[in-house]
Amino acid sequence: MIEELYKEFNIADIEPSQFPSLDLAYIGDCVYELTIRTNLLNEGPASVDKLNRRASSLAKAATQARMAENLRDIMTEEEEAVFKRGRNAKVNSPAKNATISDYHKATGFEALIGWLYLNKDYARLFELIHRGWESLENAESEQKSE
């Protein structure tokens, strides 16, 4: 689909390093949301309300911040640098329903997702998202067993 998008709309190859971190986070937010929604549909039919509640729980800043923290030890140096640039970017809008810390970490996570997407490194993008979700499930299981 991505290649068709580039072809159909005559999109030139984009050099991700040319964009500010918040631009990377802008596209990363969309890519992450599309990944969530596609994954939820893969689980089978459900009410739109149920889908939206589950998607919201995965997309909220606190969840993304936890995922980012859990992924830091497997990020490459370059990925870590992109994450930190996004995390440290000056954000002009206030955090909604999130701590400032979580909001900044979530912005770093979204910047990393956007950077991987624009680099067309889809395998790594999906690997990090999948491992991030696994880390959340593992943490939930540990809490339930305590």
Could you list the active site residues?
29
Listed by start position, the domains of the chain span: 19-145
pLDDT band at 69 (very low <50, low <70, confident <90, very high): very high
pLDDT band at 7 (very low <50, low <70, confident <90, very high): confident
The fold adopted by the segment(s) 19-145 is Ribonuclease iii, N-terminal Endonuclease Domain; Chain A (1.10.1520)
Here the tokens at position 138 are: 């593992």
Query: Is the pLDDT score of 103 beyond 80?
Result: yes
Instruction: Please give the model's pTM, rounded to 2 decimal places.
Output: 0.91
Q: Which residue has the higher pLDDT, 90 or 28?
A: 28
What pLDDT sits at residue 145?
66
pLDDT tens, residue by residue, 20-63: 999 999 999 999 999 999 999 999 999 999 999 999 999 999 99
CB contact burial 54-85 (16+ within 10 A = b; e otherwise): beeebbebbbbbbbbebbeeebeeebbebbbb
